[in-house]
Amino acid sequence: MNHVEVQNWLDRYLEAWARNDPELIAALFTESAVYRFRPYGGDDRKAVGVEEIVRSWIDFDEDPSMWEASFRPYAVDHDRAVAVGTSRYFNAGEQGDELYHNCFLLRFEDGRCAEFTEYWMLEPGGSQG
């Protein structure tokens, strides 16, 4: 993988998230992929296998007009990558918008993600009316 290929994957990730389309989601991941939504906190914080990943995305259906996001590769080394970016949820909190800073740890096999670990942090004062 190189920076362009990882950016293309991230763009497809955003499209799959926005469209909540099972086929688009499944195309991103290997059959035995592991997706860690939050790496701490137990087994309910991860999905194992592409079917479980798709099901967890579909169950967490979000209206794409209620958020915007942008991610880019930060570092790429063969089959591993780190991506960073932000996601903003409109009118999500008591004070208005919530801005999250994201970091993804990715491992790829044949252009699809085999391991995805997601870290995020709500920006203090990131809420805006």
Q: Where are the domains of the chain?
A: 3-122
Closest CA to 82 of 25, 26, 3, 17: 3
Write down the CATH number for the domain with range 3-122: 3.10.450.50
Q: What is the DSSP letter of 49?
A: S
pLDDT per position as a tens digit, 49-95: 999 999 988 866 667 778 899 999 999 999 999 999 999 988 876 66
Residue 58 pLDDT: 82
99 three-state secondary structure? strand
pLDDT per position as a tens digit, 22-61: 999 999 999 999 999 876 766 678 899 999 999 988 866 6
- Cα(29)–Cα(79) distance, integer angstroms: 14
Residue 93 pLDDT: 64
**Mean per-residue pLDDT for 5-17?**
97
**Residue 48: both structure tokens together:** 């194992």
Within 10 A of 115 (CB to CB), how many other CB atoms are there? 18
- Cα(80)–Cα(92) distance, integer angstroms: 33
Ramachandran region, residue 122 (left: φ > 0; alpha: ψ -120 to 50; beta: rest): beta
